[in-house]
Structure 1
């Protein structure tokens, strides 16, 4: 019987798969989980929009603070407790700004998760954006 392209490489054992996916979940979150936390009032993380200020002004996830990845330093993080969990996002899957921010945060000894999908993922979920220079609340529009 022929073997498909899927099965050509043998699947990991269930234990290996559990370890792999648990590790991924320790490093990533998604837009729906961030949105749910905000809606329920259980925001136990700092949401950072790591794009430039002009992109942030045009639209951002409500409640996100703008801290471009190039500006992440021990000094700019001093306002938050050492044990704060940061969640970072950028434009979307085509952008590595969130990865750069996550690397900087981790290198500075900070806990961090990447919000998968970024602005693109947020829009795909149909969630509203805030506009302007403040973290803000959702606007009536659903596109950035």
Structure 2
């Protein structure tokens, strides 16, 4: 018996609910890219890394707001039902989740973009550099 099979898989009905529910918590690089290519976002894309990393390269259309700086006053310009999508460096980083927690605590709808910058680059998409420092 391997470590893979040592714990049995969930019953199919439970697995279905679990995997369907994941889509309410996250999106992926391809879907974010498609939204950007369609002419605009119907969400706010937040780069929750440091301003320095944002300036070195970020997803097109992203706003720099480090996760530790997410507070109510920074969100006042956005209607309460605005969906925020957070991303960070990649799967090795928990900044996107930290940002999502802060947004959820403020009562804001939020999803994480799975893969972060690493996933974005792996998909073959390019980054923008900041024209003016964030």
Same fold (TM over 0.5): yes
Name stretches of at least 5 consecutive residues in structure 1 with no aligned partner: 135-144
Deviations, residues 55-110 of structure 1 (Å, cap 9, x unaligned) = 11110000000011111001001111100000000111121111110000000000
May I ask how many residue pairs the two structures share in their alignment?
132
Greater shift, 79-88 or 3-12, is seen at 3-12
Q: Offset of 1:40 from its aligned partner?
A: 1.6
| Bigger Cα Rg | 1
- What's 2:115 paired with? 117
Q: Offset of 1:5 from its aligned partner?
A: 4.2
TM-score by length of 1: 0.86
Alignment of 1:1-144 (within 5 A): 3-41=1-39, 43-133=41-131
Name stretches of at least 5 consecutive residues in structure 2 with no aligned partner: none
Deviations, residues 1-49 of structure 1 (Å, cap 9, x unaligned) = xx55433322212210111011211101110110011112352110000
Secondary structure of the corresponding residue to residue 101 of structure 1 = helix
Partner Cα distance (1:100, 1:27) in 2: 13
Partner Cα distance (1:45, 1:55) in 2: 22
What RMSD over aligned residues (CA atoms) do the two structures have, in Å? 1.4
